[in-house]
Structure 1
Amino acid sequence: MRVFITGMGGELGTAVAQLVEDDPSFEAVAGADLFPPRRRLDRAEFHRIDPRNRERMSAVIRAFAPTALLHLGVYEPYSRSSPRAAVARTAAGTAVALEAALAGGRLDRVVVRSGIEVYGRRRGAPLHPDEEVPPAPTSAFGHTMLHVEQVSREAGRRAGAAVTVLRFAPIVGPHVPSPLGRLLRLPAVPFSPLADPAFSVVHQHDVAAAFVAAMRQPFQGPLNVVGPGAVTASQAARLGGRAPVPVVGSGWQVARALARLAGAPVPDHVQELLVRGRTADASRVTEVLGIRMLHHTPDVVRQLYAWEPIDYLRSTAA
């Protein structure tokens, strides 16, 4: 199996690459991203490419001729890119990666990163949607990921390849660039006192394990990947010794402005999570892939707060 990983340079992509290259049954592994890998890779071949550079990205993937494409190149707004750049990089990278992998002529499986944001949080929507609930996104990031799913399914149909869509809960944790994670680490965390709805998250190690399991056992369709349990925003704040601050109505505009000034911009899908909650039924992934999430949501949140900030050394020279 020849595995190509988009988004290899991020925390998640690097973790997936390490799992793949440690398994000698995989013939070769390569990948590309805007940023270099976070850790040393011994066998994987990395190419530093902006996904919007269609010509170079296409040439690299075509030359590699993958049999498996792991598409982690889905950029969350205010994660590693501005909202506009995140949409552009995701759209361009998805299209070129799939077209180039198809052109290689050997593709037989695709695993795609998506998220439970695709279900949306309209009034009356199921609180714990399973994979049978039709996607109906109500945020920009949700629409972006639904587009990735649609493009991937069409490419898989043309190639006759199985396309597994992994719909993750928000991915937070130490070293993971996440707008939700940054917001929760602020000294004061906004929450909705009218409901204080629950949300679930997923640990980056469980994300990496799910990608590799889906590559080994091709499955046609979506699978929810969600950490067991849930917390509310006020509970999360207290777990980290932060001050939960009630916010209602137009006060969210003020809260978002203050968070931006503090270095934690709040995209609409994160505000939606705080106001409406976000969980999903993830029982099918265990049945299909035979894996269980090892990290519960409260534990993932605790790990987020246990991550110490970096203390930069200062020169003592006069």
Structure 2
Amino acid sequence: MRVLITGMGGELGTRVANLLEEDESVTEILGIDLFPPRRRIFRSEFHRVEPTDRRKAVHLVRDFDPEVILHLGVFEPHSRTNPTEAQRSTAASAVSVLGAAAKCPSLTSIVVRSGVEAYGRRRGAPTRPDEGAALDPTSPFGASLAHVEQVANEAGDVAGVPVTSLRLAPIVGPSIPSPLGRYLRLPAVAVDPLSEMPFSLLHQEDACQAMVAAAWARHDGPLNVVGAGAVTATQAVLMGRRIPVPVFGPGWLAAAAVAEMQGAPLPAHAREILVRGCTADGALARSVLGIEPRSTHDVVSQLYRWDTVAHPEPSDQAARR
């Protein structure tokens, strides 16, 4: 099987490539991204491509003629790029890569990274939507994810292949550049204890396992991939032994400014998660993909678990030098 991975340079994309490299039935892997891979790759071929460089992306995709495409080229605001650049790059990557893939004769399936943020958190929206709920994004990132799904579905219709949209819960972990994760790790964290609703999370390793499983499942339709259970922002902060700071209404503007000065910008979708909650029904994904993501409580615990750095003692001979 020949697999094309967009977004291979990110933590998720590189890990997915490593997992596929362990499978001997995957004969060729091609990756493209704006950034180089985050860890070593062994059998994969990587090309650095600007999201807006449509000519180069189309040329690479059509020459490779993938059987499966894993489109992970989604840029989360304030992950590695600012919100404007993230939205522009996400849209450009989806249109160029998926549009080119639709015309590849060997293509058998498309898998795209989406997120539960695409459901939106408008008043009256279901608090735990299943895959049949309508998409009604209420944040720029949610709108970007909905657009990626639309482009993928159109490409799938043209190619006549199934499209799996993985609607992932917010992904956090000790080594992934998640704006929500950075924010929750601040010493003091602004929360809204009067109106906050629970949210679910997904560990970065479980997200990667879901993507690899989806490459083989060839499911046609969306799948919610979420960890069991949910927490509120205050509960998460207390689990991490941080200080919850009550904030209401306009106070969030000041809280966001303070967080940004501390290196943890708070994009609109992250604030929406903290206040309005964000979860979904993941039963179908567990059945189709055969995976059981770790619970949200476990993800929060690992988020705050820092490995200690052991500094070796100098030898006597080195000390004398």
Q: Offset of 1:309 from its aligned partner?
A: 8.9
| In 2: Cα distance, 1:66 partner to 1:96 partner | 15
Indicate whether 1:60 and 2:60 are aligned. Answer: yes
| In 1: Cα distance, 2:147 partner to 2:283 partner | 25
| In 2: Cα distance, 1:284 partner to 1:104 partner | 30
Indicate whether 1:31 and 2:44 are aligned. Answer: no
Deviations 1:13-55 (A, max 9, x none): 0111011111001121111111111111110111111211111
Deviations 1:127-152 (A, max 9, x none): 11111111111111001100000010
Instruction: For residue 103 of structure 1, give the secondary structure of its aligned residue in structure 2.
Output: coil
| In 2: Cα distance, 1:255 partner to 1:181 partner | 16
Cα 1:104/1:197, change in 2 over 3 Å: same
Match of 1:209? 209
Match of 2:231? 231
Instruction: For residue 193 of structure 1, give the secondary structure of its aligned residue in structure 2.
Output: coil
What amino acid is aligned across from residue 57 of structure 2 in structure 1? M
Aligned residues: 311
| Matches for 1:160-309 after TM superposition, within 5 Å | 160-293=160-293, 295-308=294-307
What amino acid is aligned across from residue 115 of structure 1 in structure 2? G
Instruction: For residue 147 of structure 2, give the secondary structure of its aligned residue in structure 1.
Output: helix
Instruction: For residue 5 of structure 2, give the secondary structure of its aligned residue in structure 1.
Output: strand
Compute the TM-score of the two structures, normalised by the length of structure 2: 0.94
| In 2: Cα distance, 1:157 partner to 1:310 partner | 51
Q: Offset of 1:187 from its aligned partner?
A: 0.6
Q: Offset of 1:195 from its aligned partner?
A: 2.5
Q: Which has the larger Rg?
A: 2
Match of 1:106? 106
Deviations 1:153-207 (A, max 9, x none): 0000000111000000000001111110110011111111213321111011111
Match of 1:81? 81
Instruction: For residue 198 of structure 1, give the secondary structure of its aligned residue in structure 2.
Output: coil
Indicate whether 1:158 and 2:158 are aligned. Answer: yes
**Structure 1: stretches of 5+ with no match in the other structure:** 312-318
| In 1: Cα distance, 2:99 partner to 2:134 partner | 26
| In 1: Cα distance, 2:309 partner to 2:149 partner | 37
| In 2: Cα distance, 1:141 partner to 1:23 partner | 33
The 8 Å contact of residues 164 and 219 in structure 2, kept in 1 or not, is answered as yes
The 8 Å contact of residues 110 and 161 in structure 2, kept in 1 or not, is answered as yes
Match of 1:95? 95
What amino acid is aligned across from residue 102 of structure 2 in structure 1? L
| In 1: Cα distance, 2:148 partner to 2:190 partner | 31
Instruction: For residue 171 of structure 2, give the secondary structure of its aligned residue in structure 1.
Output: coil
What amino acid is aligned across from residue 291 of structure 1 in structure 2? I
RMSD, aligned α-carbons: 1.5
| In 1: Cα distance, 2:309 partner to 2:11 partner | 17
| In 2: Cα distance, 1:237 partner to 1:274 partner | 11
Q: Offset of 1:215 from its aligned partner?
A: 0.8
Instruction: For residue 231 of structure 1, give the secondary structure of its aligned residue in structure 2.
Output: coil
What amino acid is aligned across from residue 299 of structure 1 in structure 2? D
Cα 1:147/1:309, change in 2 over 3 Å: farther
Compute the TM-score of the two structures, normalised by the length of structure 1: 0.95
Instruction: For residue 165 of structure 2, give the secondary structure of its aligned residue in structure 1.
Output: strand
Aligned residues with identical type, % of pairs: 55
**Structure 2: stretches of 5+ with no match in the other structure:** 311-321
Instruction: For residue 143 of structure 1, give the secondary structure of its aligned residue in structure 2.
Output: helix
